[in-house]
Amino acid sequence: MNKISLLKVVFSRRMLTAFIMGYACGLPYDLTKTVLKAWMSDQGIDLAVIGLFTLVGLPYALKFLWAPLLDRFTFSMLGRRRGWMLLFQVALILAVIGMGSGAPAANPWMMAFAAFLVTFFSASQDIVVDAYRREDLADAELGLGSSLYFYGYRIGMLVAGSGGLILADRLSFQTVYWILAACLLPGVLTTLLTPEPPMIHGQPRNFKETVAEPFLEYFRRRGALWMLAFILMYKLGDNIAAAITTPFYLELGFTKTQIGTVVKLFGFWAVSAGGLVGGITMLKLGIHRSLWIFGVLQALSTAGFALLAHLGAFLPGLAGVVAFENFSAGMGTAAFMAFMASITNQKFTATQYALLTSLMRIPDVGISALSGLMARQMGWFAFFIFCALIAIPGLLMLFKFAPRRPKVVRAETSMEIP
């Protein structure tokens, strides 16, 4: 591809759409994670209760259950993908406004319900955006489009996490949530302006094609269950540790502005750099060898939080630990997402990708729900050492899924696991 053609692809409508849709998907994720937990900590809610609130993210882990319906039915005259996207985006904005109108200490159950609605509509938007991106981009554009989606996603998290925490030092959390709800409007505008992608493979016509066939095709593969176990385990320690870091920073004595500036803003550039370095490394070493390197770095970076627990409210220590952890997470996520995409059958991209990403979220909303209780019982130092050690089983499974001489099989066929 010559320079002019490359520039046309980079600055095309398709790439801009992928970037903005990534932003629209990333912003609501931190609303029920970082910002909500900071709000609850600010109101003196028990750490174990804060950890349990991670369960409101259950829709991220179960979105594969209703993903086939979004393949089967068309919601409006905007088309199958754009119609569903617009519905979920409008519902998401209303849910965020409702969440901001609540009070975690006075009415925690209503807050939990509002947060659940936010995650449900956010997870549903993720399903449709992933399917839209796969159908809108040509095969040669998928790598660049996925990278731009990733950067847009991180910017959305930055706006919610960093921007939300910095604003919360100056405004009420209710006002912060209403402002962040307005920040979701670019996604709505993009949905209205971008075209509907063509249905090259047609629309599912019956129950078997809609629900059964995507799962049957996957589970017919040799080693399919081991593959799901690997997806669960690879980022397990990293996910459990990340679920409770905001209360950890606050308990150490860092201000919300310091957390918003260093952890979110500074961390954004570190994870973005990690994603870029990870992509370049995969071009040189391949996905399998990269999974080994990045997995080890993820475990070491998680142990860095234990060091911070000893250092206390030492700002340079916070910056160093956050930079290393985010850089490693960026590389690990880039390789992990590329690996999952490589085992997805393109005929069932929406449903199978939703299945794999749902499984990736299970530790985030299942085991991670106990993270607050675990941290309180074990102490911060022992807790983060534990999180680093439980990364080992996922690394050991790489002997099966990332051998030195991997068996190459195209995703469009019934792929076997080496």
Average pLDDT in the chain? 82
With respect to CATH, is domain 14-401 assigned 1.10.3720.10?
no
Percentage of residues in the chain having pLDDT higher than 90: 22
Q: How confident is the model at residue 2 (pLDDT cuts 50, 70, 90)?
A: low
What pLDDT does residue 216 have? 85
What pLDDT does residue 330 have? 78
Give the integer Cα–Cα distance in Å for 343 and 399: 17
Residue range 175-204, pLDDT digits in tens? 999 999 999 999 999 999 999 988 776 677
Lowest mean per-residue pLDDT among 229-238, 304-313, 338-347: 338-347
What pLDDT does residue 405 have? 53
Residue range 249-260, pLDDT digits in tens? 989 988 888 887
Lowest mean per-residue pLDDT among 128-132, 156-160, 366-370: 366-370
In the predicted model, is pLDDT for residue 71 greater than 60? Answer: yes
> Could you tell me the residue ranges of all domains in the chain?
14-401
What pLDDT does residue 309 have? 92
Residue located via tokens 């607050």: 372
What's the per-residue H, E or C state across the chain? CCHHHHHHHHCCHHHHHHHHHHHHHHHHHHHHHHHHHHHHHHCCCCHHHHHHHHHHHHHHHHHHHCHHHHHHCCCECCEHHHHHHHHHHHHHHHHHHHHHCCCCCCCHHHHHHHHHHHHHHHHHHHHHHHHHHHHHCCHHHHHHHHHHHHHHHHHHHHHHHHHHHHHHCCCCHHHHHHHHHHCCHHHHHHHHHCCCCCCCCCCCCCHHHHHHHHHHHHHCCCCHHHHHHHHHHCCHHHHHHHCCHHHHHHHHCCCHHHHHHHHHHHHHHHHHHHHHHHHHHHHHHCHHHHHHHHHHHHHHHHHHHHHHHHHCCCHHHHHHHHHHHHHHHHHHHHHHHHHHHHCCCHHHHHHHHHHHHHHHHHHHHCHHHHHHHHHHHHCHHHHHHHHHHCCHHHHHCHHHHCCCCCCCCCCCCCCCCC
What pLDDT does residue 363 have? 59
Q: How confident is the model at residue 382 (pLDDT cuts 50, 70, 90)?
A: very high
